[in-house]
Amino acid sequence: MKNIFLFILLSASLCAQKTETIKLSQSVKSKKHDYKSFTVIDQRANQEIGSVMYHKDQVNIAFENEAAKDLQNWFYGDNPVRGNDELVLLLENINISEDKHEKYSIAKLEVRASTFLKKDDGYHFLSRKDTVATVSSRTTPYLAQSLAKKLTLTFSELLKNTYRAKAWDFVVNQDELSNYSTLLKDKLEIYKTDSLKDGVYKDYYSFFTHNPEPGFIIETNNKGIVTKAVNGKEKTPIRNFYAFVYKGVPFKVIPVGYVEIFRDEQGLFIEVKKEELFPEANSSFMMVGGGIAGLIGSVVANVAIVAIDAKAAQKRRAMAGTEVSLDPFTGNYILPEDFGKSK
């Protein structure tokens, strides 16, 4: 009788645990590069991804086989072996957790993975995904399925970004991959120099390696606002660049203009408002002179705003700014969790 009771308990426990399989179904075909090999290095300390609840059932989110094998099969399914390039994906973290409330729960997906081009001298960094996504059961009842789809989308975006990326000149050895971010960051010139080169920087890599576009001269309008860069007869709006340095001061181009870039012991950051990074279509913020706006973060820029529109300047000062870091491995913003929320 006791054995029967234990069997019933075990059966009930197994029935209450379900699995949502990560279906790597999106196309990851590369139209630009041909690869000789694709290797996945899984350096996660914990191979378990996590679980969420669906009614009274615990649902585990998992790969069909194992992460490395499934990711390789997915890649090779869309990219037959050919060419000379050796592509490597370093899997650093995948974690799913759930914050349960009385009537709903919020699930969080954390992913960090990077890609490298393997050459004779070692591994050259290409791209990275270091992201956090949340899903609420109030809008998505079946959390596990939504998280599995988000995970597939994250890896798909990483690979597609990888195909477009330029390999870094700096190299790390295989035994240094676990610490690559620290090693590569220490080699970036932008963190080491005290005197910045005036000019425009077309992308994040040229900015962090401190290599401005040759031949370009920055021009301002009659109110002192930077509007474009000129190289002979070529005139390019400043909004088309990632960043620029003017009179020794670095600025980050954002949707509504540009803001000053600051540096501390942690890295580079800007002080910006949510409305400036993610302006709404009906925003009263304006665009001026070649697509550059009057909503700018430095003291000099605020003076320029006043010269253009006092109301816009007053509105900007009334909104609290937040420190937002710049990721040296993607050029993207690292947003704090409370970004844009009222304090």
Q: What are the pLDDT digits (tens) for 51-105?
A: 998 888 899 999 999 999 999 999 999 999 888 899 999 999 999 999 988 888 8
Range with the poorest average pLDDT among 183-192, 235-244, 291-300? 291-300
**Mean pLDDT lowest among 9-13, 74-78, 89-93, 269-273:** 9-13
Structural domains of the chain, count: 2
Do 295 and 255 touch, CB atoms closer than 8 A?
Answer: no
In percent, the amount of the chain with pLDDT more than 70 equals 82
In a domain, 156, yes or no: yes
Point out the domain boundary residue: 161, 183, 205: 183
- Judged against a pLDDT cut of 50, whether residue 8 lies above it is answered with no
20-29, 129-138, 139-148, 298-307, range with the lowest pLDDT: 298-307
The arrangement of strands across the sheet holding 85-100 comes to 35-42, 85-100, 105-119, 122-136
- Residues 277-329 pLDDT 10s: 887 644 444 443 333 333 333 333 443 333 334 455 555 555 557 899 999 99
- pLDDT, averaged across the chain: 84
| Shared-domain flag, residues 133 and 218 | no
Span between the terminal Cα atoms of the chain, in Å: 60
Are residues 166 and 306 part of one domain? no
pLDDT at 3: 55
**Structure tokens given for 26:** 């999106």
Domain coverage including residue 300: 188-334
Q: Indicate the pTM of the whole model.
A: 0.82
| 46 & 192 share domain | no
Domain edge (last residue) among 146, 163, 183? 183
125 within some domain? yes
For residue 215, give Cα distances in angstroms to 206, 212, 247, 334. Answer: 15, 9, 16, 32
Hey, what amino acid is at 261? Answer: I
User: What amino acid occupies position 223?
Assistant: K
Neighbours of 105 (CB within 10 A): 16
pLDDT at 7 over 90: no
Say if residue 207's pLDDT is above 60: yes
Q: Is residue 3 part of a domain?
A: no
- Do residue 299 and residue 216 come from a single domain? yes
pLDDT at 164 exceeding the cut of 60: yes
Taking CA atoms, 313 is separated from 281, 296, 323, in Å, by 19, 9, 19
Count the Cβ atoms, other than its own, within 10 Å of residue 52.
26
Residue that terminates a domain, selected from 183, 208, 236:
183
In a domain, 50, yes or no: yes
Task: Classify residue 339: in a domain, yes or no.
Answer: no
In a domain, 341, yes or no: no
Q: Which residue has the higher pLDDT, 295 or 187?
A: 187
